[in-house]
Amino acid sequence: MTPLLRSNHGKLAAVKQEFDPYCPPWIARELAARIPDARLEWRPRADHYVMEERPAEVLAALERRLAR
């Protein structure tokens, strides 16, 4: 999967929640580091379902990324 990630030419915004028992923070950091020009945004005190818990924050992060 790494070559595919490195060949990404789109805009990627990864929104990572602080308290996710299924995806530890180091995985998100490593994934973002492998994708050219990726942006990683943290959502403090959010759980695994950050898109359901904080849809406005996730949407704002995506809109910021697309505006760049």
**Residues 24-61: pLDDT tens digits?**
888 888 888 888 788 888 888 888 888 888 899 888 88
Q: Which is more confidently placed, 2 or 19?
A: 19
How much is the pLDDT for 56? 92
- The Cα 28–Cα 34 span in angstroms is 10
For 32, the domain range is 2-67
Checking if the pLDDT of 1 tops 60, the result is: no
């005190």: which residue's tokens? 45
14 has which bridge partners? 40
**pTM of the model as a whole:** 0.66
- The amino acid that residue 49 corresponds to is Y
Checking if the pLDDT of 11 tops 70, the result is: no
- The Cα 15–Cα 49 span in angstroms is 11
How many independent structural domains does the chain possess? 1
